[in-house]
Amino acid sequence: MRAVLMRLAGAVPTIFGVVVVTFLLTRVLPGDTATYFAGPAATAESIAQIKASLGLDQPLPVQFWRYLVALGHGDLGMSLTTGQPVLKELVTRLPASAELTLCGLFLAIGIALPLGVLAAVRQGSIIDHACRIISTAGVSLPVFFTGLLLVYVFYFVLGWAPAPLGRLDTFATPPRPLTGAFLIDSLAIGDFETFRATASQLALPAITLALFALAPIARITRASMLAVLGSEFIRTARASGLSGPKVVVTYALRNALLPVVTVLGMVFSFLLGANVLVEKVFAWPGIGSFAVEALIASDFAPVQGFVLTMAILYVLLNLGIDLLNRAIDPRARRAA
């Protein structure tokens, strides 16, 4: 518990630095918020009034201090594009982004881990070559290109996938909100029709993210397994007459998981960033598309709230990875 509190305390300067940098960057970006929302026919006087109402006519130190005071009260500001508090928008949209990101990550893990293990056990085989090809393709292809390609093939050409227009099609009704994740909420109330509709809409964007995440997970799993399989204790286990699957799963895989878990944390961080592009391609109503729309409109508050939310998620994610590493490796617990 003490280690957790120390890590959280150490993350405070990082989050404060993110707040400062984000505030300054949003002020130097091209575009004028007041001019954008005043419209092309607005006069200089009306633009000045909008600036005064938003506090943009004040010096930067004054604006920053007011922003810090508002953050201290849990106020992330108002979104000028939607007219709603930024915090409310983020809380409403975060489950959609989390559902998409986690589904993509779990799908990638379910494919990459067995693929990496088999590639290491059967080095030089067809599976090993397939692992290398898939890893290279996953690293090389940008996520937005992969998403557009999947939409073209499975929606426009084959007609197997529904239209990429959000979390549900126009004929489906969202389930009663429990967690905000439609898959979980629809299962919780036994609404299998909504579950099927949600899964069909989620399939292509989740596959897009999974292909992006699959490459590093498969590569590190293969490399880590190769290093462990060449260890003395593995040769001793085989010499003792233990079966091949038991040696691979019980001894080799468990010792190879530590670098894999560390990479999973990095991959999840990358997915949170890639999620922004995937949400725009598939019209997914998450926090990434919300931030992009606000950025185009020079709406500072949602962009600042989005970056702050990402920073907090990264801190919590790194903390979770550390705790998981300690659970897997007893040496990490003793060192802590």
Q: What is the 3-state secondary structure (H, E, C) of the chain?
A: CHHHHHHHHHHHHHHHHHHHHHHHHHHHCCCCHHHHHHCCCCCHHHHHHHHHHHCCCCCHHHHHHHHHHHHHCCCCCECCCCCCEHHHHHHHHHHHHHHHHHHHHHHHHHHHHHHHHHHHHCCCCHHHHHHHHHHHHHHHCCHHHHHHHHHHHHHHHCCCCCCCCCCCCCCCCCCCCCCCCHHHHHHHCCCHHHHHHHHHHHHHHHHHHHHHHHHHHHHHHHHHHHHHHCCHHHHHHHHCCCCHHHHHHHHHHHHHHHHHHHHHHHHHHHHHHHHHHHHHHCCCCCHHHHHHHHHHCCCHHHHHHHHHHHHHHHHHHHHHHHHHHHHHCHHHHHHC
Comparison of pLDDT for 244 and 307, the residue scoring more: 307
CATH 1.10.3720.10 residue ranges in the chain? 93-174+202-335
Give domain 93-174+202-335's CATH number out of 3.60.15.10, 1.10.3720.10, 2.40.50.100, 1.20.1050.10.
1.10.3720.10
Pick the range with the lowest mean pLDDT from 116-120, 167-171, 186-190, 233-237.
233-237
pLDDT value at residue 187: 85
pLDDT number for residue 157? 86
Identify the pLDDT of residue 318.
76
| Residue 331: pLDDT over 60 | no
Asked whether residue 35 carries a pLDDT value surpassing 70, the answer given is no
